[in-house]
Amino acid sequence: MISSNDLRAAHTATWDAAVGHRFVDELWAGTVDDAVMARYLAQDALFLDAFVALLGAAVATVDAPGPRLVHARQLGLVAGDEDDYFARALARLGVPEPAEPLAATTGFLALMDAARASGDYPTIVTVLLVAEWLYLDWASRDADAPSDWLHAEWIELHRGPAFSAWVGFLRDEADRVGPDGAAFARAVELEAAFFDAAYG
Ligand SMILES: Cc1ncc(CO)c(N)n1
């Protein structure tokens, strides 16, 4: 059975392109243009709705009570703290909701909806893993946080001990049940395309 580490290694080029994307550099520097941040967050609001549904599918399909509670707790965080960031960020940027999905978003929604509809926990957990692991990776740079909350909180939501533990859990789960290689590859591609799309 292939491991999550092997899959990440197999997709290093695309993975690193996403983690080292111009958007991430500018986010850390606090220099992301408001129009770029607005386009990105408007698309990510669409992403997050499907992501919440996918977390719900993980809650529903996982084969054991312990992991079910871990997924359920994270679902609560995304529906709480993260949604609160979105409400404040989108209001400040004057983003009218909902946006029309761009191609990368449509691709991601299709991947997440297919995983959810499959009811196949290994596929579901693989898509969750890529989304969260890749975000932990770019958010874990050893650098000073930007001063503006709009940028700093987006980093804070994806780093730190609790978020690292969540990603560690997803890796263990994927390796326990066997990650889906095709879903992994597609998700990494879409992450890179998603950052590209913020620049129009
Ligand atoms: C596109 C994208 N990927 C991953 C995350 C983190 O789950 C996010 N918020 N948006």
The residue extents of the domains of the chain are 4-197
* Residue 180 backbone zone (phi > 0: left; psi -120 to 50: alpha; other: beta): beta
Q: How confident is the model at residue 89 (pLDDT cuts 50, 70, 90)?
A: very high
* 166 close to ligand 1 (CB < 6 Angstrom): no
Closest Cα to atom 5 of ligand 1: 131
pLDDT of 129 reads 99
pLDDT of 98 reads 87
Which CATH architecture fits 4-197?
Answer: Up-down Bundle (1.20)
Cα gap 78→87, rounded to integer Å: 12
Cα gap 186→161, rounded to integer Å: 28
Residue type, 97: E
CA neighbor of 181 nearest in space, from 5, 7, 1:
7
* 132 close to ligand 1 (CB < 6 Angstrom): yes
Model confidence at 97: pLDDT above 80: no
CA 44 – ligand 1 centroid, Å: 7
> What is the model's pTM?
0.97
CA 130 – ligand 1 centroid, Å: 9
